[in-house]
């Protein structure tokens, strides 16, 4: 009987490879906010703020970038982010802009533009409904488990986006997992073909320690930058219900009126004939 390979050992080698690819080289100078999204934020103000406050201020812009990043390369995501920044005044305008218009700004050739625009629209709207403003300041005093649960329960949220925001803005130990990374792991035999994105995320989070998670994320993005699956799963191509045209409801078919019982044929009444009596001749 053939012995099954130990996938945990193989995954550990892959994790080490990605961590090494994402680690900072000796002598390399990096800014504390180098990996944070600064769209809709003043970069000069961010640099003056403490790191914790700067991360909190960039949490929603980082979420916007994350929605553009998953299942796409970094160059496209940055270009799309610049187009959104040029077209929108602030995050509130982005929130109230219909998803179909956001998809038009991204362009028809952007990967899954309609689907991701719908998810972004729903997430921003969900934040506003909870906070009554476009800010995540309420997360500042929460525990990490509470922060992650807050992000997970936002409408339109995906495992990749919630993990990126939690990891880079709130130091939550979360593994950003999108369909692209999932399919790569499956193609290498490191995960079962039936594994979902959420299951893959949970598997890697059990095997990657907290201090290596950020390097793993950066390394995986760098290593898979030029890789794309030959075929995407059908679920990735499903159009979003927010963008779908309203369903045309057929008018209810009225039942034909019940046939009235046939009226009985009326026999014409015979007219009475009156005979006039002629006066007798005298």
Say if 210 falls within a structural domain: yes
Give dist(CA 193, CA 29) in Å, integer: 40
Query: pLDDT tens, 146-198?
Result: 999 999 999 999 999 999 999 999 999 999 999 999 999 999 999 999 999 99
Does the pLDDT of residue 202 top 80, yes or no? yes
Read off the pLDDT of each residue in 88-95 and give the average, rounded to a whole number: 94
Q: What is the CATH number of the domain that holds 61?
A: 1.10.340.30
**End-to-end CA distance of the chain, in Å?**
143
Residue 234 DSSP SS3: helix
User: Is 194 part of any domain?
Assistant: yes
Is 29 inside a domain boundary?
no
Distance of alpha carbon 231 from alpha carbon 202, whole angstroms? 24
Q: What is the mean pLDDT of residues 205-217?
A: 94
What does the alpha-carbon distance between residue 130 and residue 137 come to, in Å, rounded to a whole number? 12
**Given a cut of 80, is residue 144 above it in pLDDT?**
yes
- Please give the average per-residue pLDDT across 79-84, as a whole number: 92
HSE (side-chain half, CA atoms, 13 Å) at 208: 28
Average pLDDT, the chain: 83
> What is residue 246's predicted lDDT score, i.e. its pLDDT?
44
Per-residue pLDDT band at 53 (split at 50, 70, 90): confident
The pLDDT of residue 120: 96
In total, how many domains does the chain have?
1
147: in domain: yes
Domain limits for position 210: 7-24+35-237
For residue 136, being part of any structural domain is answered with yes
Is 257 inside a domain boundary? no
Query: CB within 8 A of 207, min separation 6: which ones?
Result: 8, 11, 12, 15
The pLDDT score that the predictor gives to residue 254 is 61
CA dist 52 and 251 (Å) reads 57
For residue 249, is pLDDT > 60?
no
Q: How far apart are CA 88 and CA 256, in angstroms?
A: 55
Integer angstrom CA distances of residue 58 from 2, 49, 61, 122: 52, 11, 5, 19
Alpha helices in the chain (DSSP H): 7-22, 43-48, 51-57, 59-69, 74-87, 91-96, 99-106, 113-131, 144-152, 159-170, 179-187, 197-207, 210-223
Q: Is residue 173 part of a domain?
A: yes
Place 252 in a pLDDT band, splitting at 50, 70 and 90.
low
Q: What is the pLDDT of residue 23?
A: 85
Angstrom distance (rounded) from CA 12 to CA 20: 12
Half-sphere exposure (CA, 13 Å, Cβ side) for 215?
17
Q: Which residue has the higher pLDDT, 148 or 31?
A: 148
pLDDT score, position 65: 93
Confidence of residue 244 (pLDDT cuts 50, 70, 90): very low
Asked whether residue 242 is assigned to any structural domain, the reply reads no
Global pTM exceeds 0.85:
no
Query: What dihedral angle (degrees, nearest 10) is formed by the CA atoms of 203, 208, 212, 217?
Result: -20
User: Residue 166 and residue 145: Cα distance in Å, rounded?
Assistant: 10
């Amino acid at each position: 009987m053939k012995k099954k390979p130990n996938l945990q050992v193989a995954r550990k080698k892959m994790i080490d490879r990605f961590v090494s690819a994402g680690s900072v080289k000796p002598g390399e100078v990096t800014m504390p906010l180098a990996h944070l999204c600064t769209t809709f934020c003043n970069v000069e103000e961010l640099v003056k703020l403490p790191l914790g406050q700067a991360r909190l201020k960039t949490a929603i812009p980082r979420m916007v970038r994350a929605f553009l990043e998953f299942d796409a390369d970094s160059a496209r995501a940055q270009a799309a982010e610049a187009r959104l920044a040029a077209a929108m005044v602030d995050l509130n305008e982005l929130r109230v802009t219909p998803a179909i218009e956001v998809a038009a700004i991204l362009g028809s050739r952007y990967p899954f533009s309609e689907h991701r625009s719908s998810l972004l629209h729903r997430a921003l709207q969900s934040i506003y409904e909870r906070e009554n403003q476009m800010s995540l300041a309420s997360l500042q005093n929460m525990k990490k488990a509470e922060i992650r649960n807050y992000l997970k329960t936002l409408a339109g949220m995906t495992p990749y986006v919630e993990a990126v925001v939690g990891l880079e803005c709130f130091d939550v130990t979360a593994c950003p997992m999108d369909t692209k990374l999932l399919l790569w792991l499956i193609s290498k035999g490191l995960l079962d073909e039936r594994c979902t994105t959420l299951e893959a995320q949970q598997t890697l989070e059990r095997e990657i320690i907290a201090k290596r998670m950020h390097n793993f994320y950066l390394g995986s993005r760098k290593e898979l930058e030029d890789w794309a699956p030959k075929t995407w799963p059908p679920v990735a191509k499903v159009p979003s219900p927010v963008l779908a045209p309203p369903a045309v409801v057929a008018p209810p078919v009225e039942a034909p009126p019940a046939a009235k019982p046939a009226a009985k044929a009326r026999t014409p009444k015979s007219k009475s004939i009156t005979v006039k009596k002629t006066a007798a001749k005298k």
